[in-house]
Amino acid sequence: MNKQISNILFVCIGNICRSPFAQGLFTKLVRQEGHIGFQAESAGLLALPGNSATFLAQKVAAEHGVDLAGHKAKRLSQELVDRSELILVMEKSHKDELLADFSEATDKTFLIRRFARLGSRSRGVADPYGLQYDTYRFCYLDIEDAVLGLVDFLIKKPKNV
């Protein structure tokens, strides 16, 4: 990751829980800190375009000051891949599937937890879809740790990532 990163794409399966969490939180943090020039988007490998974030995703995000009420799912596309300088997926299988279709994205696609401040940087973020509130809450906090590390990386550029 040598070049300047300003366009980030977060990817999961349905684009209704995990990637909207990451996009919403990242956008909130960079705005709060007054950092301009960053653009975050999210997409799903199997998203049904136009679907809203799940009720529990919206509830948990709102409890952390992130508004997902207007979120509409979109499917991963060549256009999104092309305009992104960094693509962060939630699980290794997402990376494998993404690279099977968009092999040119190899050098810019990573697990989101690569930027985690706590715990393993090589594990995925579990999908809360269809599960209980506490699972969504844990998922959000897991993503929050990685997104905070990502913001630190983009702003401060530590050498250990």
Residue 12 catalytic?
yes
Determine whether 18 is an active site residue.
Answer: yes
Locate 143 and state its tokens. 């993503």
**Selected catalytic residue, list 17, 18, 142, 145:** 18
- Of 12, 17, 139, 145, catalytic: 12
Annotate 39-100 with three-state secondary structure: EEEEEECCCCCCCCCCHHHHHHHHHCCCCCCCCCCCECCHHHHHHCCEEEECCHHHHHHHHH
Residue 96 falls in the annotated catalytic set: no
Q: Pick the catalytic residue from 114, 117, 121, 127.
A: 127
Residues designated catalytic: 12, 18, 127
